[in-house]
Amino acid sequence: MGWPVGRDNRRIEILASVKARYTDFDMMAASAVGWDQKYNHIGRGRFEGSLSMVVLNTLQVGRERWKPGIMQRGSAPARCWFVGLPIVAEGSLHVRGRQIASGQPVLAGPCDDIAFIANGHTDLAQAVIPVDQIEHWMQIRRGAPGLDRKYLDRPFKMAEQEIVKRGTALARLLRSLLNGADGAILPDALTAIEDQIVDVVLGMVPSTDVAEPLHRRALVAMKLRDMLLGHVEAPVNISAMCEELGVKERTLFVACVEAFGRPPKAMLLELRLNAVRRALTHPSSERTVTDVASRFGFWHFGHFSAEYGRQFGELPSITLAKTLGTGRAPVATRH
């Protein structure tokens, strides 16, 4: 798998995808693209498994389900970290001789043998991210050189429901990629999904960064406001905000909450929704809700409609229908 050299103007591409059910554990193990691994069936009962995965030119994201259990040996793609987020784990999970406690992610750094064991029915969302991509994210967002290998010996812990929430979010992003694996997904949407995958996985890494002084945070907040107002049609992620403003994530978050009462992602979402509403109430050549939503970077139209309804108390189609003076607004059939 080849990783892009640059990041500022990178083009994200889907290289391969898998979505299948299995009754043969050897076949399931062999189906994981880029992996060198073997499975053994452990526990009693007929084996049932499923594998969904998408390979981008920057990372892998997947979801595996099996029962009763498996013993895995082998390795992920070279120079990558493997991160697993258990959605369901009816038995104990182990990696490289250590048991994974409830509320901990499954972590494995670059190595020859992950030595993963699941003692029972398991549903595991997972990502495989190259070391250099992690180092880039950690430097910008945390001010750290990379993912500290101490997490392999003393893994960080969070609430179990947070792990499940992140695993479910990762599975939802995977589903969006699978739905667009035939080329239907727009390039900007593909980049946005890749950004969200990295944020879901690495965003749980504890931050030791200390926020900058109050006067500095106030300046950051004003610059952030202007930056977000200028990006309603091309929304930026948290990493881009940090990089552009020259601050770490904790300072960015605290500055935004202090100045505006909401974190940066929530503020950008609200600004984009406001821009959509203005466009719907003053339609030009765009005559469908989908066209307007796409212009402001909304690629999952079900989620967009729900967010719009929460923000303004009505569906976007109703807003446009009122503007056009009709009972129903045209909505494109693209999903």
Structural domains in the chain, CATH included, are: 14-179 (2.60.120.10), 267-324 (1.10.10)
The Cα–Cα gap between 267 and 229 comes to 10
The angle subtended at Cα 222 by Cα 253 and Cα 145, nearest 5°, is 40
Which of 231, 237, 263, 261 lies closest to 250 in space, CA to CA? 263
pTM for this structure? 0.82
CA dihedral 183, 177, 3, 107 (to 10 degrees): -170
The per-residue pLDDT string of the chain (335 residues; one tens digit each, 9 = 90 and over) reads: 333 333 445 789 999 999 999 999 999 999 999 999 999 999 999 999 999 999 999 999 999 999 999 999 999 999 999 999 999 999 999 998 889 988 889 988 888 789 999 999 999 999 999 999 999 998 898 888 777 766 665 666 788 899 999 999 999 999 999 988 777 787 888 988 999 999 999 988 877 777 788 888 999 999 999 999 999 988 899 999 999 999 999 999 999 999 999 999 999 999 999 999 999 998 776 678 998 998 898 988 888 999 999 999 999 999 999 988 865 555 554 44
3-class secondary structure per residue, the chain = CCCCCCCCCCCCCEEEEEEEEECCHHHHHHHCCCCEEEEEECCCCCCEEEEEEEEECCCEEEEEEEECCEEEEEECCCCEEEEEEEEEECCCEEECCEEECCCCCEEECCCCCCCEEECCCEEEEEEEEEHHHHHHHHHHHCCCCCCCCHHHHCCCCCCHHHHHHHHHHHHHHHHHHHHCCCCCCCHHHHHHHHHHHHHHHHCCCCCCCCCCCHHHHHHHHHHHHHHHHCCCCCCCCHHHHHHHHCCCHHHHHHHHHHHHCCCHHHHHHHHHHHHHHHHHHCCCCCCCHHHHHHHCCCCCHHHHHHHHHHHHCCCHHHHHHHHHCCCCCCCCCCC
**Residue written as token pair 């992690």:** 134
- Neighbouring residues of 107: CB distance < 8 A, sequence distance ≥ 6: 81, 82, 83, 84, 95, 151, 152, 155
Round to whole Å and give the CA distance between 53 and 174: 7
Cα 45 vs. chain centroid, distance in angstroms?
34
Helix 249-260 / helix 264-281 crossing angle, nearest 10 deg:
60
